[in-house]
Structure 1
Amino acid sequence: MAAVERRAALHAALSDPGRLAVVDLLSQGDASPSELALALALPSNLLAHHVNVLVEHGLVERTRSEGDRRRTYLRLLPSELGPVTTALLRPPRVLFVCTANSARSHLAVAVWRRTSEIPAASGGTHPAGAIAPGALAAAARHGLDLRGAEPRTVDAVRRDDDLVITVCDRAHEEVGLRADVHWSLPDPVRDGSSDAFDRTVHELDRRIGALAPRLVVA
């Protein structure tokens, strides 16, 4: 009965249209409260109430931006209710963007290619000189192919019809860069450990595994 009561509490938390709309948007990617308020046309105090309820029930968590440390991102957590399955229109290509284009965005492309037939590419707002050694080592451990990968500027690879997914807070917060989806992933290069890179791969695998099946032809 404890598990049933827990599920009933989650259903009750999602019974409000506003909270369900928040969860629906966060099922695509992370967002700051101001981004949610703008997308849903909700007053900030009402949105704060909905977010507090979702956090209290363990459906959403707050994380601090690695870029603008004053900014908070909201992330949808896995729950007993399973994933939200709202369909999204299938894009011609997916473009993953981070700052240096040396780890997260390249690992994202490699995970995506083994998950979906939709083409994928990556770029950086301020590309590094080479792929991070830790990313290459993580790719080898997880059977991912990074052969021939090299950092490139996002402007050199971006197409108008790309589904743009930022996997880096700094890149997401850059002026002029519009992202369709944001995943607030910690920078494994800053940590430098194998565990940090492995956590990045596992999180990318989880998020891509949830998003890719939802992309359908109109």
Structure 2
Amino acid sequence: MAIDPSLPRWRAAAHHALGDPARLAIVEALLLGDLAPGELGRLLGLPSNLLAHHLGVLQAAGLVGRTRSEVDRRGRYVRLIPSALRALNPITPLTVPRVVFVCTRNGARSPLAAAIWADRSPIPVASAGIRPAPRVHPRAVSTAHRHGLRLQSRDTAHVDEVLAPTDLLVAVCDNAHRALGPAPRRVHWSVPDPGPADTEEIFEEVFGQLAERIDWLAAITTATPAHPTTPN
């Protein structure tokens, strides 16, 4: 079936897919970031054969997709399809003071994500890497410029220098996700590194993936209210 949220037939199929408690639990587990099938199975207590069945139903309904890990090319991650889920609007807003995007080298994905976020949301944003490169990749700069965006800086930073305990950390690569590990205020997006291919096409593809995910996250995120100032 073509994925068109405006069609009652599609919406009925999507709601039918979510009508099973296990499938609804899978979607809720994936609301903010990607998970490997094994992680989903352990989190939800589902055997692999039953999990595979439920993921197949959700994928047929256009609610989830799968990506191959760039670390070893064997692992896979399951992700929500934001444009499909947005039509169903199943969650309440997340309140955060700042969003920090992190990738391996802080050279392409995380600075591009921060630039897109700054254009989409008033919530403060920063970017960092777990092994920062000497500088931001030139194609990241030119890609941002093509979309009318400006990177925060052409310098890079280590995550330890940037991250605060209250920040929402979004790991936009598998290496950063594995190095930092899971935590309550950490989200993982399995986005490929455009650096090795080093073409305009791959940078545009990565920009599109980030923009789609950021549009979704920005729509469900609100800023932490500022504390009132005590009069003198």
Q: Note if contact 1:13-1:19 (Cα within 8 Å) is conserved in structure 2.
A: yes
Q: Look up the match of 1:138.
A: 143
TM-score by length of 1: 0.88
Moved more, 100-109 or 52-61: 52-61
Q: Note if contact 1:68-1:170 (Cα within 8 Å) is conserved in structure 2.
A: no
Change (3 A) 1:80 1:205: closer
Q: Residues of 2 paired with 1:15 and 1:150: CA distance? A: 48
Matched AA of 1:32: A
Q: Note if contact 1:123-1:152 (Cα within 8 Å) is conserved in structure 2.
A: yes
Q: Percent identity?
A: 47
Q: Residues of 2 paired with 1:122 and 1:80: CA distance? A: 27
Q: Which runs of 4+ in 1 moved over 6 A?
A: none
The one of 10, 16, 23 aligned to 2:14: 10
Q: Residues of 2 paired with 1:146 and 1:118: CA distance? A: 16
Aligned-residue RMSD, C-alpha = 2.3
3-state SS of 2:101 partner: strand
Q: Note if contact 1:61-1:74 (Cα within 8 Å) is conserved in structure 2.
A: yes
Unaligned 5+ runs, structure 1: none
Q: Look up the match of 1:160.
A: 165
Structure 1 residue 95 displacement after superposition: 0.9
3-state SS of 1:151 partner: coil
Q: Note if contact 1:168-1:187 (Cα within 8 Å) is conserved in structure 2.
A: yes
Aligned residue runs from structure 1 range 109-148, under 5 A: 109-146=114-151, 148=153
Q: Residues of 2 paired with 1:132 and 1:80: CA distance? A: 33
Structure 1 residue 81 displacement after superposition: 7.3
Q: Look up the match of 1:48.
A: 52
Moved more, 118-127 or 79-88: 79-88
Change (3 A) 1:187 1:81: closer
Change (3 A) 1:147 1:115: closer
Matched, 1:191 2:197: yes
Matched, 1:180 2:200: no
Matched AA of 1:152: A
Change (3 A) 1:177 1:11: closer
Structure 1 residue 83 displacement after superposition: 5.0
Matched, 1:202 2:208: yes
Instruction: Encode CA deviations 1:173-211: one digit per residue, 9 max, x unaligned.
Output: 226574621111111112211121122222222111111
Unaligned 5+ runs, structure 2: 226-232
Structure 1 residue 147 displacement after superposition: 5.1
Instruction: Encode CA deviations 1:84-118: one digit per residue, 9 max, x unaligned.
Output: 34124311111111001000000111111111111
